[in-house]
Structure 1
């Protein structure tokens, strides 16, 4: 096979050397982080949310994951730290006026700039395409470039005016080392929240404060104790008169014998004459089945 007509094979054709390491295109890697959802790998579209680690997601994809965590997804490892909607923050982004979206190059006869970002920094005007570092505030969700936060130092948001702290600033799509620091910060924050909850529960137990639902339960038990018993007498002293144990042998009276009660009130109890029937008036039990139609 081969070597016909005096062809001479070369060394690289006969000897197989080590495989070359595939290099990832930087432009493609940046586009995957800044233009596509980290979970569903679909294009980012509003509403866009971010987690404590600075990753971007479509809000619909995260909600679907939280509703059904057992379903197979291509990149489910990126959301294992998200336990609920409290672990994500909806971003307040500023649209790029130069971004035309899918209508930019429908025919394919125009130059399409891959580095053009969908959003920009409202202070400096830098495009959010991965070439510049961007941050978001956990307090309000507004997104700015890191350069804007360094040049204009303030404790009030540049866009909405809400106050924020330095701990509220989270870098979007940072390096692996910074992601590990953000993960440690996230775990410390969750540990503090657990300790606060445990302290509140202990304080409630020590003070003996009953929840508001217990009041309803006590009122229902009191109401149930005042219901008439089988002989037509009530256990409430206001209704049935004084009890024999407290009044020294006074017998309980029947509600039907009370003259100060109306007939409408007496008819509410089973000891009333309207509730008693003769044998001729009573009927035998009849069992109906769904097959009688």
Structure 2
């Protein structure tokens, strides 16, 4: 019985780590900008669509100059998509931050409404370019398919996704805690006016952090695309778990968000194995159970990026 659960546990870990990666980008923006970015899910979807355009000739960019590019093997194209996708999404995020500047210092509702409108604009733009059909992201043969180990069939891609997400989360933690740039970002999340008083350009910091958080959403969208599929409304499916994870883990903790992401992924995967109709509801029940006894989440702290 336990052996039968192992593939579901692996699936849950992969899903949870990807959820955590998405939620950490969300937390970066909330911490430094003090804005709840409702367009985060649409940026997640945009990353998946940009990767689709980089991987498939019929993926939405039928430009003649792209034909030699599509002749490249699948592995280089996939690696290029992993770089270009987050860069494009990061630039879009930076453009959104420029629009948000007029709302700083005003009622937070203005920023909330602006990002909600941006989410609608991004979703409709995706529909105009790619249509409303669902796509599957082509991936290199080396990370597709499955293999048999211990009389069980394992998904190669899900193991790759779990390792990739775990590695990226580790790199992000090192960046935030072991580099001077990460220290400035953490300080901006704790006290933005103090950062300004120390001579740092707060306007530039906000721009770069928003772009960085958006890029994390984009790369999460690319890696999760083969698991969830690609469709215009996939961003809604992503942003809701991100909200749940932030509240569940505690708005003040990096590792709280990672732990909450893994918990949500495991709960959803294990519930889907036995009660498919309850799989999405299970994460809300988990949230309710935790915040009933710990209102600040698992590891809530005063600073959004405090480890």
Q: So what's the TM-score if we normalise by structure 1?
A: 0.21
Bigger Rg, which one: 1
Structure with more helix by fraction: 2
Structure with more strand by fraction: 1
Higher RCO, Cα 8 Å, sep 6+: 2
Q: So what's the TM-score if we normalise by structure 2?
A: 0.20
